[in-house]
Amino acid sequence: MAESVRRMLGDQWVSGAREPHRFGVRHLSPAGSYHLLALLEEVQPTAVLIEGPSDAGGLAGQLVSRGVVPPVALLAYTEQLPVRTLLYPFADYSPEYQALRWAHRNGRHAEFIDLPTEASLAIVERKREAYGEIERKREQERKQERKREHGNEDANEDERERKRPDLYARIAELSGEPDYEAYWERHFEHSLEPGSYRAAIARFSEEMRAMTEEEELRAAPQESAYNEIRESYMRRKIRDTIAAGHLPERIVVLTGAHHTPALTPERPAMTDEELALLPRVPTRMTLMPYSYYKLSSHSGYGAGNAAPAYFELLWQCMLEGDLDRLPALYLSSVASRMREQGTWRSTASVIEGVRLAEALASLHDGARPTWKDLRDAATILFGHGEFAVVAEALARTDIGTAIGSLPEGVSQTPVQDDLNRELKRLKLEKYKTLVAAELDLDLRENRRVQSEESAFLDLNRSVLLHRLAVLGIRFARKQHARQADATWAERWVLQWSPEAEIETVESTLKGETVELAAAYVLHERLHACADIAEAAKIIRLAGECGLPQVAGDAVSALQRLAVDAGNFEQIAETVRELSVQLQYGSVRRIDTEPLLPIMRQLFLRGCLMLIEASGCNDDAAAGMVSAIHAMNAVAQEHYSEVDEPLWLSKLKELAERDDRNPKLSGYAFSIVLERNEAGEEECAREVARRLSPGIPADLGAGWFEGLSLRNRYALLSRDYLWRHLDAYIQSLEAEPFKRSLVFLRRAFGTFEPREKAAIAELLGDIWGTGADTTGEALQRPLNEEEKRSLDELNDFDFGDL
Amino acid sequence: MGMDPKQDVLRLPAEKLYARELEALKEVDKEERPAGWQLSPKAVLTFIVGGQAGDTAITPKYIGHKRLVEMAIATLLTDRALLLIGEPGTAKSWLSENLTAAIHGDSSKVIQGTAGTSEEHVRYSWNYALLLAQGPSEQALIRSPIFRAMESGGIARFEEISRCASEVQDALISILSEKTIAIPELNREVAAERGFSIIATANTRDRGVNEMSAALKRRFNIIVLPAPSSLETEIDIVRRRVSEISASYRLRASQPDEETVRKVVTIFRELRSGVTLDGKEKVKAPTGVISTAEAISLLTGSMALAGSFGDGRITDEDVAAGLQGAIVKDEEKDRVAWKEYLENVMKKRGASWRSLYGACSEING
């Protein structure tokens, strides 16, 4: 008997005699929620069917449990790589969220009826493949563009508006509105007439659909097909619900307005065979806290609307039945934001602002100002016509800082669980607050404690914090250690934030635990890595994150890349990075053994490339100087492990060569001097040769500039150097003197006053005038005549310099 | 005395120039008119941004920023005074005149702000002969344009308000907040009729202006008029205005062709923004302001040259002479900037620019 009743009802739906109530909305729409609630109260449905992934049943229940504060989002992601995601954000004013809550409150059946995510993600992936690479890129760009203009529902609705931007612009133009958003708000969000909203939106979407359907079928057949699959699946779910015993007229079907015209019994529902044919990928789902900032599509996913906090305000006013308060509420909140920032705006301006916004609305036959009207009024009254003045206050008022939250135990992702476990294990729980706190770590083994766990507590903490940093979870910021170069000390500032919670949830996509996720991220980076410096950096990161496996992979990647490495500066940077690793290794208990041969190999190559790489112009010389410095530091640090004699001999060669960049030759010579590899005689010879009258002044001075870049005490302590320099300058003719002056001045410009004084003394000794008089003569201010002759220098034509 | 009924004046006020359009709008305007307005707000909007009134086409007076016009009209709807700010040549006065013509039908109540404007110009002054003869009387009273606008519930215009001394500006404060002018000598007060408002304009790039006080600023709704947003908009504006002006001045020359207007506007926009339109090359900007208004006067000037001394068609030499005058205002620096622009940008533009380039560099020596 029951069976036959059910069938009869099903048939009745098919015959179209009694249909479920179809209610179309824009997904983040306060008016949609308002009218939906009215409809639910009126119809008192036994079943509420909602557009949303049908396999999210359990989560839908959790969504309305106590302690959930929107905005929250439902995140679906594929288990396998590459990870693809679908996101369904809900604000308090989302009709879907309100429908779930109503059903929960009244104990009615509520169900998501869209394709299960395992099917939709698989289809979306195929669609993506079908589009091809180029199209995808172009799409991405355009999406970025449109995102800002249209804060909008789910990905599909987004697509649609993107594809017909001219159509939407045309609607705005015909209605005389500045943009489509204003049109929408004025015509749909402000209408509180019972019933009119539903009729208007049904008609609007039906006509839009009629206008765009054919075009879409032609221009984007995949899109069209996907849409058809979704709708036929939804029709199937509606049919099933009726078959399960719900009276059609006691069912409310809530979907995006675009779909409502298609959910009629005349169109075929998906059959079992068709359902079995759908592609599937294994997926998972979770709830996550969301923020208005993300919702406003300034970052992250495409779904959202541009001014979530404004719409929240609109929703609140609607619930209180006092929409007329909205303009005053909004503008005074903008004014108070400006006052917070120190810009005083009076209540009188707020009043004038409300009047202006209302006058603007009346020009469009609107009963109330739209968001756009209010913003423009704020620009004129608070910004005195300048948008920039009010931009920040507006952003704060429009978007706000609201962040949703989920109670403990509601749909924790594995990685959240893991993080909490780790924090507990490492006694870091107390830092999980909104107040920033400092944490000093000593990575060395603590020998006074019993267990190994506590002996390496700080080391393990450092590993966790580094992993979080790699994952982009903003919980801990590393500070510069107090003690320079102490490899065992670290200082962190820890501060928890809801944003960090969101970032943690997002890490779920990368792995089940913090460790796995961090390893995944580093692997991805390694995969994309094309130069040795980056590979060396990844080795360091892997070391800091305590991921020996990744470090090993990075080492082999480095080895592979090192074969072709042919850039001296890159090699120097890498060698330096590896050297740091070798020093850190013992503290971090990492096996650095395999790094040594690579470093040795790269160091050797660096030595051999030095001479060739030094044949560069002055612009490139700056980078070379720091590269030579790095190589030299490594040579000294690891003198027993690398071929230091070879390095020195190459430096000497560079110091002697005339055909390389003179600055670099000078710099090499300063290292040779510093190491006492050149005596007075050699030095005298070199200075004389470099600065001999035949050499162009700029080359000589450039050489001296390179020489003075390093240890100046080494220079100052060698008086013979200054004698030769003096002799050289005295020997110059007027014209070359002026040229060399430029370079010498630049070289000495970086000397400190103390050092300049020391030079003056040295010269005094040489000239026999005595240190004091010379110092005085050189340091006293210029007189007029001297100034004039210096000014003349400004007109000097340096020609090719 | 009233207005001069003759049409043969050098420059017609907007309400005369567009009398036919205003009549047509009045005829079809069915919407409610605010007190003191001769048209409904929507009709005013149509008058400014263009459209249709029955069979009569309404020419656009202000192109490109419809929303700003809406905001200006909404301001006047709320009895607030309106202040239009912008660089020279952003059509501030033009918009102010046309708004006044459309709303009030008389755009002649104007105070021109200068360093010499005194408080009497803003409020009222006396005919001293009568004052000495009769003592203070209604006959001896000389009403300022604002005074008259208050009496008739109309709109007074205040041009270049920031050029006035601060105390003159401050005289406006009480007028705007109390909407009355007291005449203690006659022991009476004029209260503003409904519909009274003030549209002021101010320049952002002028030197020697007086900063407006915060108190005065608060009493205005301020709208910043931008330079035309795109090349096409600016070309459109220039062409329209040139044809209107040349018609009223009866210049015996043909309109400049699209190509010439495009070239002039391109040069102006590039020099104004300091970068070529394709954004690839930086150019040195001249010291002066290179406004749309100057492009318009340059082209009408060229038409006058062509009409009076040439064959009635604008030649590249005419345009070159105009460009030289408009751009090189400070002899030294501007000449360098203009010369560089000629050599680095214009010269490379290809055949269609060749002859203009030749004419320009010839003048520039």
Question: If phi over 0 gives left and psi between -120 and 50 gives alpha, with beta otherwise, what is residue A166?
Answer: alpha
Please determine, for residue A150, whether its predicted confidence score (pLDDT) is greater than 50. Answer: no
Residue with the two structure tokens 């006092």:
A322
B356 in the same domain as B318: yes
Please determine, for residue B136, whether its predicted confidence score (pLDDT) is greater than 60. Answer: yes
**For residue B179, what are the domain limits?**
14-225
Inter-chain residue contact A363 with B41, CB threshold 8 Å: yes
Inter-chain residue contact A359 with B222, CB threshold 8 Å: no
A474 in the same domain as A548: no
- Residues of chain A with C-beta less than 8 angstroms from the C-beta of B31: none
**A425-449, pLDDT tens digit by residue?**
888 888 877 778 888 888 877 777 7
A481 in the same domain as A533: no
A595 in the same domain as A735: yes
Does A270 or A592 have the greater pLDDT score? A270
DSSP one-letter code for A54: G
pLDDT for A379 equals 92
* pLDDT band for position A82 (cuts 50, 70, 90): low
B149 in the same domain as B100: yes
Cα distance from A386 to chain B (closest Cα, Å)? 7
Separation between Cα atoms, residue A187 and residue A571, nearest integer Å: 64
Integer-rounded Cα Rg, in Å, for chain B is 23
What is the number of domains present in chain A? 3
* pLDDT band for position A327 (cuts 50, 70, 90): very high
The β-bridge partners of B220 are: B81
Separation between Cα atoms, residue A611 and residue A605, nearest integer Å: 11
Nearest to A363 among B42, B85, B218 (CB): B42
**B90-133, pLDDT tens digit by residue?**
888 889 999 999 999 888 899 998 888 888 889 999 999 999 99
A572 in the same domain as A463: no
Cα distance from B87 to chain A (closest Cα, Å)? 13
* pLDDT band for position B75 (cuts 50, 70, 90): very high
Give me the phi and psi of A553, to 5 degrees please.
Answer: -60, -40
Q: Single out the residue in B225, B258, B292 at which a domain terminates.
A: B225
Cα distance from A366 to chain B (closest Cα, Å)? 13
High-pLDDT (> 90) share of chain A, %: 6
Q: Does A647 fall in a domain?
A: yes
- Residues of chain B with C-beta less than 8 angstroms from the C-beta of A178: 66-67
Indicate which CATH number applies to the domain containing B89.
Answer: 3.40.50.300
Question: If phi over 0 gives left and psi between -120 and 50 gives alpha, with beta otherwise, what is residue B254?
Answer: beta
Partner A, chain B 212-231, Cβ-Cβ below 8 Å: 217-218, 221-224
Q: Does B9 fall in a domain?
A: no
- Residues of chain B with C-beta less than 8 angstroms from the C-beta of A389: none
What is the number of domains present in chain B? 2
Please determine, for residue B1, whether its predicted confidence score (pLDDT) is greater than 50. Answer: no
Q: Tell me which range, A428-437, A566-575, A676-685, is most confidently predicted by mean pLDDT.
A: A566-575
* Distance separating the N- and C-terminal Cα atoms of chain A: 103
Burial class (CB in 10 A: 0-12, 13-18, 19+), A720: middle
Mean pLDDT, range A550-555, rounded to an integer: 84
Q: Does B49 fall in a domain?
A: yes
Please determine, for residue A606, whether its predicted confidence score (pLDDT) is greater than 80. Answer: yes
- Residues of chain A with C-beta less than 8 angstroms from the C-beta of B71: 356, 360, 376, 380
Q: Could you tell me which of A256, A323, A281, A357 has the C-alpha nearest to residue A129?
A: A281
Q: Single out the residue in A295, A320, A341 at which a domain terminates.
A: A295
Q: What length is written for chain B? A: 365
Please determine, for residue A156, whether its predicted confidence score (pLDDT) is greater than 90. Answer: no
Please determine, for residue B276, whether its predicted confidence score (pLDDT) is greater than 60. Answer: yes
Inter-chain residue contact A356 with B222, CB threshold 8 Å: no
pLDDT for B174 equals 86
Q: Does B3 fall in a domain?
A: no
Q: Single out the residue in B181, B199, B225 at which a domain terminates.
A: B225
Amino acid at residue number A183:
Y
A169 in the same domain as A62: yes
3-state helix, strand, coil in chain A (%, to 5): 65, 10, 30
Q: Does A97 fall in a domain?
A: yes
Q: Single out the residue in B203, B225, B247 at which a domain terminates.
A: B225
How many CA atoms, within 13 angstroms, populate the side-chain half-sphere of residue A156?
27
B262 in the same domain as B204: no
High-pLDDT (> 70) share of chain A, %: 84
Q: Single out the residue in A269, A295, A321 at which a domain terminates.
A: A295
Q: Does A257 fall in a domain?
A: yes
Residue with the two structure tokens 């003179």:
A662
* pLDDT band for position B201 (cuts 50, 70, 90): very high
pLDDT for B48 equals 92
pLDDT for A357 equals 92
Within 8 A by CB and 6+ apart from A138, the residues are none
Mean pLDDT, range A599-626, rounded to an integer: 84
pLDDT for A772 equals 65
Q: Does A301 fall in a domain?
A: no
pLDDT for B96 equals 93
B269 in the same domain as B179: no
Q: What is the per-residue burial (b if ≥16 Cβ within 10 Å, else e) of A750-764?
A: ebeeebebbbbbbbb
**A743-797, pLDDT tens digit by residue?**
677 777 777 777 777 777 777 777 776 666 666 666 666 666 666 666 666 555 5
A192 in the same domain as A148: yes
B236 in the same domain as B217: no
B248 in the same domain as B220: no
**Three-class SS of chain B:** CCCCCCCCCCCCCHHHHCHHHHHHHHHHCCCCCCCCCCCCHHHHHHHHHCEEECCEEECCCCCCCHHHHHHHHHHHHCCCEEEEEECCCCCHHHHHHHHHHHHHCCCCCEEECCCCCCHHHHCEEECHHHHHHHCCCCCCEEECHHHHHHHHCCEEEEECHHHCCHHHHHHHHHHHHHCEEEEHHHCEEEECCCCCEEEEEEECCCCCCCCCCHHHHHCEEEEEECCCCCHHHHHHHHHHHHHHHHHHHCCCCCCCCHHHHHHHHHHHHHHHHCECCCCCCECCCCCCCCCHHHHHHHHHHHHHHHHHHCCCCCCHHHHHHHHHHHHCCCHHHHHHHHHHHHHHCHHHHCHHHHHHHHHHHHHHC
Please determine, for residue A34, whether its predicted confidence score (pLDDT) is greater than 60. Answer: yes
Amino acid at residue number A224:
S
Tokens of B163: 């050029």
Q: Does A771 fall in a domain?
A: no
Q: Does B348 fall in a domain?
A: yes
Separation between Cα atoms, residue B104 and residue B73, nearest integer Å: 12
Mean pLDDT of chain B: 85
DSSP one-letter code for A783: -
Q: Taking the model in full, what pTM does it have?
A: 0.68
Question: If phi over 0 gives left and psi between -120 and 50 gives alpha, with beta otherwise, what is residue A21?
Answer: beta
Inter-chain residue contact A385 with B73, CB threshold 8 Å: no
Inter-chain residue contact A352 with B78, CB threshold 8 Å: yes
Cα distance from A363 to chain B (closest Cα, Å)? 6
Spatial contact of A202 and A208, defined as CB atoms under 8 Å apart: no
Please determine, for residue B4, whether its predicted confidence score (pLDDT) is greater than 60. Answer: no
Question: Which among B31, B45, B48, B77 is the top mutation candidate for probing chain A, defined by the most A β-carbons within 10 Å of its own β-carbon?
Answer: B77
Q: Alpha helix (H) ranges present in A244-346?
A: 272-277, 292-295, 308-319, 326-340
Q: In Å, what is the CA distance from B326 to each residue of B291, B329, B338?
A: 9, 7, 11
Spatial contact of A114 and A233, defined as CB atoms under 8 Å apart: yes
A550 in the same domain as A485: no
Within 8 A by CB and 6+ apart from A752, the residues are none
**A contact set with B (CB within 8 A):** 178, 346, 348-349, 352, 355-356, 359-360, 362-363, 376, 380-381, 384-386
Picking from A136-150, A348-362, A448-462, A595-609, which range would have the lowest pLDDT averaged per residue? A136-150
pLDDT for A279 equals 87
B81 in the same domain as B168: yes
B311 in the same domain as B218: no
Please determine, for residue A724, whether its predicted confidence score (pLDDT) is greater than 80. Answer: no
Nearest to A363 among B74, B217, B222 (CB): B74
**B43-52, pLDDT tens digit by residue?**
999 999 988 8
* pLDDT band for position A159 (cuts 50, 70, 90): very low
Cα distance from A379 to chain B (closest Cα, Å)? 9
pLDDT for B167 equals 87
Please determine, for residue A300, whether its predicted confidence score (pLDDT) is greater than 80. Answer: no
B239 in the same domain as B275: yes
Please determine, for residue A134, whether its predicted confidence score (pLDDT) is greater than 60. Answer: no
A82 in the same domain as A168: yes
Reduce the DSSP state of residue A53 to 3 states and report it. strand
**B300-348, pLDDT tens digit by residue?**
888 888 888 878 788 888 888 888 888 887 777 788 888 888 888 888 8
ipTM: 0.80
Sheet holding A21-25, edge to edge: A21-25, A251-256, A47-53, A109-114
Inter-chain residue contact A376 with B67, CB threshold 8 Å: yes
B188 in the same domain as B249: no
B239 in the same domain as B216: no
**B57-73, pLDDT tens digit by residue?**
898 888 878 889 999 99
A610 in the same domain as A487: no
Q: Single out the residue in A515, A543, A563 at which a domain terminates.
A: A515
Does A185 or B10 have the greater pLDDT score? A185
Asked if B103 has any chain A CB less than 8 Å from its own CB, the reply is no
pLDDT for A282 equals 86
Nearest to B78 among A346, A359, A385 (CB): A359
Count of CB atoms situated within 10 Å of the CB of B364 = 16
* pLDDT band for position A800 (cuts 50, 70, 90): very low
Inter-chain residue contact A356 with B75, CB threshold 8 Å: yes
Inter-chain residue contact A385 with B45, CB threshold 8 Å: no
A436 in the same domain as A557: no
High-pLDDT (> 70) share of chain B, %: 96
Mean pLDDT, range A509-525, rounded to an integer: 85
**For residue A200, what are the domain limits?**
2-295
A217 in the same domain as A69: yes
B257 in the same domain as B217: no
Within 8 A by CB and 6+ apart from A12, the residues are A18, A248
Q: How far is CA A149 from the centre of its chain?
A: 21
A445 in the same domain as A540: no
pLDDT for B358 equals 86
